[in-house]
Amino acid sequence: MEVTISDMLRNAARRWPDKTAYVYAGLSHTWSEVDRRVDALAAGLVSLGIRTGDPVANLSKDGPVLTELIYAAARIGAIRVGVNYRMAAGEIDTLLRHCGARVLFVQDEHRSLAPTIDGLRVIGAGDAQTAFGEYGELIERHAGAPVTDVYHGIAQYCYTTGSTGRPKAAVWSHEAINYSIGHSLLDLDFRRDDVWLHCFPGAGTPCLLAVWNVAKGFTTVVMPAFEPGYALDLMDANRVTRVLFVPTMLNACCEEQKKRTRDLQSVRRITYGSAPTPPALIRRAAATFPNASFEQLYGATEACGGFFTTLSPEDHTLALTTNPRILESCGLPMQHSRVQVQRTDGTPCEPEEIGEVAVQGGYVMQGYLNEPELTAVAKRNGWLMTGDMGKMDQNGYLYLVDRKQFMIISGGYNVYPIEVENVIAAHPAVLEVCVFGVPDPHWGEAVHAAVVLRDSQDGLTEELRAWARERLAKYKVPKSIEMRDALIRGGTGKILKRAERDRFLALTS
């Protein structure tokens, strides 16, 4: 029987009872307070008829409801399911029917998204921050009630963002979660005195970032939803030492800091990942956070909150001084991970040869819920196939070139959008860029770039194309460039290339 994060919470409450575990909406909660609330919530779930293996879901912004339900579900052997409030009502209905959820805690402002499904009980959670409605009443009614801990091997059904097709639920075991949390915190050098800013939507994989602290006892400041100015304010007010961003978040914080300066000297580590990050952005961020070192992580939902590779702070120093190329990589395999680039026949690629990234480790999901065929595609010959195309250099650094389905074939040549995006993003006028292929009667596919500028400027299209021609092979230069006010993002803030492509094709069809 595995130790669960519920067991870790009980231990944290004993070891550091009066230490601040969480800060929500400016209010601090100690480890002992969190444990008592989780006990009451667990007892409340049992009173609702929740038994071992039953899925329980939450539809809310990040805050106490997010973290407490993760711990409470683990305490009674239930299975936690996160639901993204940015989804449409029909998508949420499909998701909850797919997993067979028994209870849904829903923030009041999102109540209209809650479906009516036989066997599903919907419970209001107020604002999910300080006023908890029916959720709060459930906890109050069961305060001090006895709870019998129950172990169940499956901890969560974690739905993918849907950026690669219809959403799928990765089945996470407690064993895999323990493996990913423990090894990640060890490799990434977390400390008990750290103050961690959680600014990711916790419906999916980032939910584990909100409970990483239970393994080390550090404080986590939870944002309900990301907003760059508020993030910087929280970093200043709480003397935050560590934070993880996706590139769009990091970019937005750099821009916001220029508008109004905050004291960010407490920040010692900026971690970034989830999407390719232009080297130009890292150089800009280094000036924004003067005392921070940088590291990059690469992982996937199918890794149960774990990560495959890291570009360490030492690697960043090396890149910014003597070896700039490695700043384009996502680093070396983490200590607990085996990473290989494979050909279609499963054999390993030679250095600099492009293939599909495959990984092994104790963090790998059990499979996709009710999807045996998709599971068989993702897990082959003992490897988890990521769907990412990449290559390794002679020293083992992994370079992602793009998702399989986003590779552009133009005039018989393979074009990987990341390479084009990195070049365009380095132009000083460019804030964000998304590159994808569009049908072309002559070339088969043509390279198209959707660009967001820092300031509105006329006539920049030809300048950007000239910039690209100086730095890219002719067949990689965008045939068309489109100026956009903003790019489409998913729940984590990641730019959705598929949605951008579909939008453009709808406009031009």
How much is the average pLDDT of 28-44? 98
Q: How confident is the model at residue 163 (pLDDT cuts 50, 70, 90)?
A: very low
* Mean pLDDT of the 329-335 span: 94
pLDDT value at 421 more than 80: yes
Confidence of residue 165 (pLDDT cuts 50, 70, 90): very low
Is 246 a residue whose pLDDT tops 90? no
Nearest Cα to Cα of residue 61 among 86, 39, 26, 29: 86
Q: Which is more confidently placed, 329 or 409? A: 329
Question: Greater confidence, 273 or 354?
Answer: 354
pLDDT of residue 411: 67
The whole-angstrom separation of Cα 56 and Cα 171 is: 14
Q: Is the pLDDT of residue 53 over 50?
A: yes
DSSP per-residue string spanning 385-416:
EEEEEEEE-TT--EEEEEEGGG-EEETTEEE-
**What is the predicted pLDDT for the residue at 491?**
64
Residue 276 has pLDDT above 70, yes or no: no
CB 357 within 8 A of CB 388: yes
> For residue 162, what pLDDT is reported?
44
Structural domains for the chain:
5-225 (3.40.50.12780), 407-508 (3.30.300.30)
Over 90: is that where the pLDDT of 444 sits? no
Q: Which range has highest mean pLDDT (217-221, 439-443, 495-499)?
A: 217-221
Confidence category of residue 164, pLDDT binned at 50, 70, 90: very low
Whole-number average pLDDT of the chain: 91
State what percent of residues in the chain have pLDDT above 70.
95
Question: pLDDT at position 161, please?
Answer: 54
**Burial call 81-106: b when 16+ CB within 10 Å, e when fewer:** bbbbbebeeebbbebbebbbbbbbbb
The highest-confidence range among 154-158, 456-460, 491-495, by mean pLDDT, is 154-158
Per-residue pLDDT tens digits for 372-391: 999 999 999 999 999 888 99
At residue 325, the 3 state secondary structure works out as helix
In the structure encoding, which two tokens stand for residue 368, read together?
Answer: 């996709």
pLDDT of residue 419: 81
DSSP bridge pairs for 55: 79
Residue 75 has pLDDT above 90, yes or no: yes
pLDDT value, residue 128 = 96
Contact by Cβ (8 Å): 359, 388:
no
Residue 305 confidence class, pLDDT cut points 50, 70, 90 = confident
Q: What is the pLDDT of residue 357?
A: 95
